[in-house]
Amino acid sequence: MLGCSMNELMTPAVSDLLLPEPVRLRIKDFCEQVAAEPRRPSRSVRELTLETRLPFRDGSTIWVEQRIDLIRDDADRLTGIMGITREITDRREAEEELRASEARNRLLIENANQASSSSKVK
């Protein structure tokens, strides 16, 4: 997805790309919130989903969705973290195009209503 080999992904510089500082802070906050919660049912799983941009080595970026699951044992101790990252660039671009189209349509309707109102006044 990022154009890196498995060995490159294991280096600290590339792992920082996979979990940039804002993402690490969100995960840290999430873990603190979970720790402050009352006990949950045994073997409970809590998840956090983040959308962020990741850079390619050529300077371009892609959008990814990162789902992080905190896995707890019967004693409610954190026993593991599982994560899945998938590319969502096409979806994000389609959402942005839809928002822009809706804004243009809203502007056209508002202007048409104003033109209609001003022509009635004359």
Q: Please give the mean pLDDT across all residues of the chain.
A: 75
101, HSE (Cβ side, Cα atoms, 13 Å): 6
pLDDT confidence of residue 110 = 85
Q: What is the CATH number of domain 1-87?
A: 3.30.450
Give the largest Cα separation in the chain, rounded: 77
**Distance between CA atoms of 105 and 84, rounded to whole angstroms?**
37
Strand (E) or helix (H) holding 106: helix 89-121
Strand (E) or helix (H) holding 9: helix 6-9
- Global model pTM greater than 0.85: no
pLDDT confidence of residue 105 = 92
